[in-house]
Chain A
Amino acid sequence: MEKAKKRQFGIIATIVLAAVIVLGLLWATAAAKQNEEHQDTLQRVEKLGRIVWGVKSDTKLFGLMNTKTGISEGFDVDIAKALTVQISKQTGVPLSAEFVPVSSSSKIQLLKNTNIDGTVSTMTITPEREKIIDYTNQYFDAGQSILVKKDSGIKSIKDMNASKYTVIVVVGTTAAEETKKFAPKAKILAVQDYATGMQALKAGQGQAMSTDNAILYGFATENPDYQIVGGTFTHGPYGIAFDNNQRPMVKETNKALATIKKNGVYNKLIKKWFSDVPGLDWHELEAK
């Protein structure tokens, strides 16, 4: 009897403890949700005198971590710097730019948690994402493409519509859904970042890696055995993202973006990063 009672108590205690943990986490979610709605990014930025930008650390040409300095370098980073200078001029508040490495899957959460103020991270503007975050006007025109081994015989994404093919994508990008539309029978292998994706492609875990052409160009320059085939099959321009309902910040950034496009800063950065990419007509990327 004594033992049965003890056991019963143990079971009840376990259930109660589990319930407390679950409820606690749910409460924390609700609290986090409440928090995120009442912060104005522009006000915060002006008060602290800095803009914390989320940038990629694994994407050649856009945001690639320099292992010596520990700082990301690329088109996105330079755009963020130029925008910071321009916004500083517009608002009359001296601002510095700080950079935090983000991944495709973490950036939205980091925005929501206000770990970063905004993100310039090869982020495609999609209607689903627009529901929960704010985008500026497009700052780069991109489209999805595939990278394959030169002797693979694959000519376009349509050739891969068979269950024997696996397409490698990165978690949190739009590539998985788009690939399903164009090659519904192909398997999808989602990895954590582009570097792992490229390694998996080399190891034969998939026959193609699919993401935006701009990113694939970076890998094609590094790996001469691989090539981009079939051109782009989607149109997905990149935007700079802020948390939801940050109209003042978006307005300032759009104004700054228009200015750097007009005064030639933007074109200078396009030339700096994309003029050496083989097979890419960088003049097409310039702002007109």
Chain B
Amino acid sequence: MSLLQNNFPTFLQGFGYTLLSSIIALIISMILGTFFAILQILPQKWAQKIGNVYVQVFRNIPLLIITFFFFLVVAKVIPMNGFAAGTIALSLYTSAFIAETVRAGILSVDNGQMEGARANGLSFGQSMRYIILPQAFKIALPSLGNQFINLVKNSSILAFVGGLDLMYQGNMVAATTFDTFTTYIVVAIFYLVITLPLSYYMQNLERRLKHAA
């Protein structure tokens, strides 16, 4: 435990960056994911195509490759550091999974809901926003929770591009103290500090929404 004491500021800094990256990626991926989910269920063929291509590309490429692409290739044109490259890659990667989750949620809302909304004079956008999406998110909530937890854990990708996150600091501490095993246990506990409350909160939210219905 002296390892934790001696390197506490380092771990804390890493914890902060992991949290920051996760929150940014979560917001961006939710927005992008919902956008591409809607794109995929629009009646227009070209919109479906775009949404589909986006999802297939980012869902089927390893996160590490997307990260390195931003860190090593895109950075030549638009300068960005490892933290930015990693967070962008994480957002895009996760948004593909969220798009699929949300799309499944939308599809499982009964068709009559949309027809009813339209028949009552709501536009397509309005029916989507006020009728379909609230129900879709409720259905998709359990798997969205999974995606969020995955996102937090996947943020360890930042370590490979010098993103100063928890995993990166863990590597540095392990390299200077040579106590690899203890260091990674400490890192694991710090991840649990984020993921356990998150999963508990998602469960709670699920339960509350169930009763709201």
- B-contacting residues of A (Cβ < 8 Å)? 14, 18, 22, 25-26, 28-29, 32, 104-105, 108-109, 128-129, 132, 171-173, 176-177, 189-192, 196, 199-200, 202-205
For residue A208, give the distance in angstroms from its CB to the closest CB of chain B: 14
What secondary structure prevails in chain B residues at the interface with A?
helix
Q: Which residue of A lies closest to B189 (CB)?
A: A22
Q: Which residue of A lies closest to B162 (CB)?
A: A189
What secondary structure prevails in chain A residues at the interface with B?
helix
Report B149-180 residues with CB < 8 Å from chain A CB.
Answer: 159-162, 168, 171-172, 174-176, 178, 180
A171 touching B175, Cβ below 8 Å: yes
- What are some 15 contacts across the A-B interface (CB < 8 A)? A18-B192, A105-B171, A109-B181, A132-B178, A191-B162, A192-B159, A200-B161, A200-B162, A202-B72, A203-B71, A204-B75, A204-B79, A205-B72, A205-B81, A205-B82
B12 at the binding interface (Cβ < 8 Å): no
For residue B40, give the distance in angstroms from its CB to the closest CB of chain A: 34
Q: Which residue of A lies closest to B74 (CB)?
A: A203
Residues of B within 8 A of A205 (CB): 71-72, 75, 81-82, 162
Residues of A within 8 A of B107 (CB): none
B71's partner among A22, A28, A172, A200 (CB-CB below 8 A) is A200
Interface string of B189-202 (1 = CB under 8 A from A): 10010001000100
B168 touching A190, Cβ below 8 Å: yes
Instruction: Give complex CA distance A36, B101 in Å.
Output: 47
B24 at the binding interface (Cβ < 8 Å): no
Instruction: Give complex CA distance A205, B172 in Å.
Output: 19
Residues of A within 8 A of B68 (CB): 196, 199
Instruction: Give complex CA distance A98, B203 in Å.
Output: 51
A190 touching B172, Cβ below 8 Å: yes
B75 touching A203, Cβ below 8 Å: yes
Residues of A within 8 A of B57 (CB): none
A196's partner among B160, B180, B196 (CB-CB below 8 A) is B160
Residues of A within 8 A of B178 (CB): 108, 128-129, 132
Instruction: Give complex CA distance A29, B196 in Å.
Output: 23
B76 at the binding interface (Cβ < 8 Å): yes
Instruction: Give complex CA distance A109, B185 in Å.
Output: 15
A105 touching B75, Cβ below 8 Å: no
Residues of B within 8 A of A199 (CB): 68, 72
Looking at B81, B181, B196, the one whose CB has the most chain A CB atoms below 10 A away is B181
Q: Beyond the given A29-B185, A204-B75, could you list 15 further A-B residue pairs with CB under 8 A, ordered by the A residue number? A: A14-B200, A22-B189, A171-B172, A172-B171, A172-B174, A173-B175, A176-B172, A191-B162, A199-B68, A200-B71, A200-B72, A202-B72, A203-B72, A203-B76, A204-B76
B160's partner among A25, A32, A104, A191 (CB-CB below 8 A) is A191
B182's partner among A29, A190, A202 (CB-CB below 8 A) is A29
Residues of A within 8 A of B82 (CB): 189, 205
